[in-house]
Amino acid sequence: MRWLVLFFVLVSNSLSAQEKILWVPLQGTVELGLSPYITRAVKYAEDNQFDAIVLDVETFGGRVDAAVVIRDALLNTKLLTVAWVNKRAISAGALISLACKKVFFSPGSTMGAATPIQMNPQGGAQPVENKFVSYFRAELGATAERNGRDRKVAEAMVKATEEIKGLVAKDDVLTLTDVTAKTVGFSDGTISSKDELFKALGFKEPTIEEFKINWAERIVRFLTDPTVSGALMTIGVLGVFIELQAPGFGLPGIVGITCFAIYFSAKFLVHLAGWEEVLLLILGIILLAVEFLFLPGTLIAGVLGAACMIAALVMAGISPKIPLDWSAPEIQNHLMGVGIAMVAMIFGLLLAAYFMVKNPRKTALVMSESLDRDKGFVSASDLSFLRDKVGTALTDLHPSGKCQFDQSSFEVISSGSFVKKDAHVRVVSVEGSKIVVEEFRK
């Protein structure tokens, strides 16, 4: 009986002693959709009592704010965290790797070159201002020091303030290889395979679980991509402005509001936007509606509305995880995206206005074929009889709308400023089906 009890105790101890490692691929660009994935992986490992988290790192870097979120999650956990630099950990990837308690390299791998850069209008890259460079140097230095590594070597990956003999000259940027990283104590070993890595960590036959990105995180990574995010912003702004200048509520408004909803939902999920930005956007749209529909020409509501919308879009791209520095690459790139959205919106509005003037919409009361005028219908092919006629605006004209002349209704275009409903108008020109009017004061 004792032997049986001993057997069950040994089996139980064997099962409980089974080592578990969570394998987390960290590959591609470090962007806002990646940080929720890594933080979720850390939480999963803690909740399920894993013995270690291994990051398989292969990245040229990316957003600093996303890297800082990942760095904090790795530093805050009590689990063993391991970075395997499998080819390269450049820029933001270096910060993430240094946040791990142990760092291994694969043969020929590199880590460093962490100077923050931004794209200039000519398409090239340039360093950001010293204020942000100083911040990122401090982040790398403090992270390395936290895990027992040389602070000055880590800071030199951003910019060396003094020469480090045999490594980097003053004012140069350091990139470590697997060999030099071992020399300066930034590498715990050069490893060629997973099995070698586990053996170096002291695990005999661990259970390996690969942590996969879920569908929601894939969608967020796609929607927070700068190109997609910029397109959503541009279409949203353009749709809302076109809708406010047209009577009723139609497709432009639906498309614009949908794009804004998707844009802010993605920013909300990666903690770039909160309810403040959403409420500011709604206030901006309301003020613009007041300007276009109730107080045309006053400009005050319109200017305030446009300012609220722009402020909401700008705020939705600024992370609270990094200092508010307008030279930061993330902020610079986001401001460029907002600027492009504004330019595209203005160009789209001008284009829409041009086509509205050239091709005004026909109503049911303006027929495309000739009928008897005595029956209340007119011919869209010959409207010259309307020239110099005086009528009444059936809708607001901004610039298009409907007017009534005699007993017939026509789609018209105002030649000047906004014309209110029920105002008297006079036809100043007729070109085919295009009827241009101006306000007429008796």
Residue type (1 letter), 304: L
Determine how many CB atoms are found less than 10 A away from the CB of residue 262: 17
- First CA to last CA distance, the chain: 115
Distance from C-alpha of 100 to C-alpha of 180, rounded to nearest angstrom: 18
Distance from C-alpha of 26 to C-alpha of 390, rounded to nearest angstrom: 71
Percent with pLDDT over 90 in the chain:
26
Mention every residue, 6+ apart, whose C-beta is less than 8 A from residue 38.
24, 26, 55, 69, 70, 73, 74
At residue 374, the pLDDT reads 46
At residue 384, the pLDDT reads 78
- pLDDT tens digits, one per residue of 286-304: 887 776 666 665 667 777 8
Residue type (1 letter), 59: T
Element (H, E) at 354: helix 329-358
At residue 12, the pLDDT reads 45
User: pLDDT-derived band of residue 366, with 50, 70 and 90 as boundaries?
Assistant: very low
Distance from C-alpha of 155 to C-alpha of 140, rounded to nearest angstrom: 6
| Unique residue bearing structure tokens 């995880």 | 321
| pLDDT winner (highest mean) among 109-113, 135-139, 309-313 | 109-113
- Report H helices in 19-63: 34-47
Average pLDDT, stretch 388-410? 84
Query: 22-26, 55-59, 169-173, 183-187: which range is least confident on average?
Result: 169-173
At residue 367, the pLDDT reads 39
More confident residue, 230 or 293: 230
Which residues does residue 437 pair with via DSSP β-bridges, in sequence order? 414, 427
Which residues does residue 112 pair with via DSSP β-bridges, in sequence order? 90, 175
At residue 209, the pLDDT reads 92
Closest CA to 23 of 49, 52, 46, 47: 52
Answer for the pair 30, 61: CB distance below 8 angstroms, yes or no: yes
Element (H, E) at 429: strand 424-431
Is the pLDDT reported for residue 99 higher than 60? yes
- Rounded to the nearest integer, the mean pLDDT of the chain is 77
Answer for the pair 149, 126: CB distance below 8 angstroms, yes or no: no
Residue type (1 letter), 153: V
Task: Classify residue 427 by burial, with Cβ atoms within 10 Å: 0-12, 13-18, 19+.
Answer: buried
Is the pLDDT reported for residue 220 higher than 50? yes
- pLDDT tens digits, one per residue of 78-87: 999 999 999 9
At residue 320, the pLDDT reads 58
Is the pLDDT reported for residue 10 higher than 70? no
Q: Which two tokens stand for residue 208?
A: 């390996």
Query: 52-66, 130-144, 282-296: which range is least confident on average?
Result: 282-296
User: pLDDT-derived band of residue 226, with 50, 70 and 90 as boundaries?
Assistant: low
Whole-model pTM? 0.64
Residue type (1 letter), 441: R
User: pLDDT-derived band of residue 267, with 50, 70 and 90 as boundaries?
Assistant: confident
Please list, residue by residue across 83-101, b when 16 or more beta carbons sit within 10 angstroms of its beta carbon and e when fewer do.
Answer: bbbbbbbbbbbbbbbbbbb
Is the pLDDT reported for residue 125 higher than 90? no
